[in-house]
Structure 1
Amino acid sequence: MMQLHIENETSPLKAVILGTAESCGPVPKPEEAYDPKSLEHILAGTYPTEADMVKEMDAFAQVFQKHGVTVYRPDVLIDCNQIFSRDIAFVIEDKLFHSNILPDREREFEAIHGVLEKIDPNKIIRPPQEVHIEGGDVMPWNDYILVGTYTGTDYPDFITARTNKEAVEFLKAQFPHKKVKPFELRKSNTNAKENALHLDCCFQPVGKDKAILHKNGFLVEEEYHWLVDYFGKENIFEITKEEMYQMYSNVFSISPEVVVSEQNFTRLNNWLRKQGFTVEEIPYAEIAKQEGLLRCSTMPLIRD
């Protein structure tokens, strides 16, 4: 049996599910887009090709291999976008949560049965139907679980609002010994530069005490300031609206010392190196066109 173990975002990674871009299907029609950035590229004729995305994911897989991480891939479903494995499930401590996501993505969860069969079924939890939650909004950080949410009464109008207030209450009930801290995120169905699809689109911890942060992603200024105070101004890399749009905060930590980043993120990668990180740069700009990047494509199972 596999012993799941995730306490935070950066401890040394032992096992991970990496999505797949194989057979990801034809270019979606505009009305099928789940987010404003994909829509933009569909309309512009610049939507990424399967061959380019497969290449990018292979580069990611090679970095994991180099660092001795066990990588699981989902079964390939024909004509199904399975790149973003973070959406379908997430692990906190020794439990795997089956996200309640957009209903037509249920097949994606079934495609990781190879991993699910290795886990004690009592440790696989399906939240009740009214709990909407996706892994991109959930960040275990030691004593805390940081959660991106949207609680406006217009929640149902936003296809970009993925985690609701019921999800926050659900996590509090599951982990009474942890502090569950929600953050209201800015949502837009039409403007990708004004939309924080998930918490990891405007914030992510790196190392032991640093963070990447975008102020405008947060609807409530006090919640943004809470993060600034928690990590300390001198430990924060503040990204611009354009950098948020390029997904700068969606890098991925293999350990407290090693961060996988996109090769074009020059300003961020220089800062990370100045802070003493090893930066593994890979091409991921095509996948970024779907409003997801490195953290979105991974679902960590075990960290030391």
Structure 2
Amino acid sequence: MKAFLKNQYDKLIHYLMVYPCNFEITDPGNPYKGKIDYPLMFSQYNNFVNTLINNGVKVQFLDLINSPSQVFSRDIGFVVGDILFISKMKSPERIHEPAALIKFAEKYNIRTYHMQNHIEGGDVVLHDEVMFVGMSRRSTLEACSEVQEVLNSNNIPVKVIPINFDNKKLHLDCVFNSIDKDRCILSSYVYDTDIIKSHFKKVISLKDEDADVLASNFVCLGNNTIVTSNKTTAKLLFEEGVNAIYSDYSEVIKAGGSFTCSTLPILREHN
């Protein structure tokens, strides 16, 4: 099986996901703890998966680990070029989640690199010649240097760029996302806006209240099509000429993640 990614918007071929069998909010400070409507949550998740499949995406599910947050498969790894980087998780309740990804990679003979420093896939936004990495509570500058060394040694021409943002937000993909080669969506929670803007011709600004409900956490399927759980994003992108598909994901969002968080892309078309 092949893995290859150079950005987040080329035609999507293959996603890895984890069915939310053990889904639970464990954060005592989350006001939705103990308030998940599970039948609705499963229905919303199934609708999202069916939307992906109906748009030609191959979806495979990783083995279950006893983790309440495993549905957020984005965090356990990320692909750059033809290398699948296995994340080193910082949260104690999630440190075993990459084991399912390692097992999958071994079964299908996918080229991997195991990170020695803390980094999570939710902080990685790959954009052709650059890889933005959010300096969150769970990703480090040391990890940025480590990834850069691996890319350099494998002749993968991608520059790793650390991005500072408000650490009250869990990951970079909660406050920033690319739409295509020329456009991105960005909230004021990102501090290094000038760095990001230098790599895009157009930046669409997102209001803080929309970022708070994960309006930037959409997925690009290619062919100018995105799937979003936020009606404001759907409207903004529709006005930009993007085919924006809205799908309700409110029950999963209660735990702090939406569509980007719930999907680990391993293959997109490339020239």
Please, what TM-score do these two structures have when normalized by structure 1?
0.81
Q: Does 1:137 align with 2:123?
A: yes
Equivalence for 2:3: 4
Q: 1:241–1:211: structure 2 CA closer, same or farther, 3 Å change rule? A: same
Deviation of 1:41 (Å): 2.0
Identify the match of residue 172 of structure 2 among 199, 204, 218: 199
CA RMSD of aligned residues (A): 1.9
Matched to 1:168, the amino acid is C
Deviation of 1:85 (Å): 0.1
Query: In 2, distance between residues paired with 1:29 and 1:200?
Result: 20
User: Does the residue aligned with 2:260 lie in a helix, a strand or coil?
Assistant: coil
- Is there any run of 5+ residues in structure 2 with no aligned partner, and where? none
Equivalence for 2:214: 247
Within 5 A, what are the aligned runs for 1:67-82? Answer: 67-77=55-65, 80-82=68-70
Identify the match of residue 104 of structure 1 among 93, 118, 131: 93
Identify the match of residue 180 of structure 1 among 143, 157, 160: 160
Q: 1:281–1:147: structure 2 CA closer, same or farther, 3 Å change rule? A: same
Deviation of 1:114 (Å): 6.0
Query: In 1, distance between residues paired with 2:236 and 2:26?
Result: 37
Deviation of 1:19 (Å): 2.4
* Higher mean displacement: 245-254 or 16-25: 16-25
Given that 1:21 and 1:50 are in contact with CA atoms closer than 8 Å, whether structure 2 keeps it comes out as no
Q: Which structure dedicates a bigger proportion of its chain to helix? A: 1
Equivalence for 1:288: 253
Given that 1:8 and 1:141 are in contact with CA atoms closer than 8 Å, whether structure 2 keeps it comes out as yes
Deviation of 1:118 (Å): 3.9
- Is there any run of 5+ residues in structure 1 with no aligned partner, and where? 31-35, 151-160, 188-194
Matched to 1:63, the amino acid is T
Q: 1:303–1:267: structure 2 CA closer, same or farther, 3 Å change rule? A: same
Equivalence for 2:235: 270
Give the length in aligned residue pairs.
264
Matched to 2:58, the amino acid is T
Q: Does 1:169 align with 2:145?
A: yes
Query: In 2, distance between residues paired with 1:149 and 1:99?
Result: 15
Equivalence for 1:226: 195
Query: In 2, distance between residues paired with 1:84 and 1:171?
Result: 22
Deviation of 1:50 (Å): 3.0
User: Does the residue aligned with 1:175 lie in a helix, a strand or coil?
Assistant: helix
Deviation of 1:29 (Å): 6.0
Given that 2:76 and 2:101 are in contact with CA atoms closer than 8 Å, whether structure 1 keeps it comes out as no
Equivalence for 1:20: 19
Query: In 1, distance between residues paired with 2:66 and 2:85?
Result: 25
Matched to 1:7, the amino acid is K
* Higher mean displacement: 14-23 or 291-300: 14-23
Q: 1:127–1:285: structure 2 CA closer, same or farther, 3 Å change rule? A: same
Please, what TM-score do these two structures have when normalized by structure 2?
0.90
Query: In 2, distance between residues paired with 1:119 and 1:133?
Result: 24
CA deviations over 1:159-187 (Å, ceiling 9, x no partner): xx010110111111112232111111211
Q: 1:103–1:78: structure 2 CA closer, same or farther, 3 Å change rule? A: closer
Q: 1:71–1:279: structure 2 CA closer, same or farther, 3 Å change rule? A: same
CA deviations over 1:68-117 (Å, ceiling 9, x no partner): 11101122345643210011111111111111102432332223466323
Q: 1:75–1:212: structure 2 CA closer, same or farther, 3 Å change rule? A: same
CA deviations over 1:37-67 (Å, ceiling 9, x no partner): xx2322xx5x323332222211111011111
Matched to 1:127, the amino acid is M
Query: In 2, distance between residues paired with 1:49 and 1:92?
Result: 36
Matched to 1:5, the amino acid is F
CA deviations over 1:130-183 (Å, ceiling 9, x no partner): x11000111211111111115xxxxxxxxxx01011011111111223211111
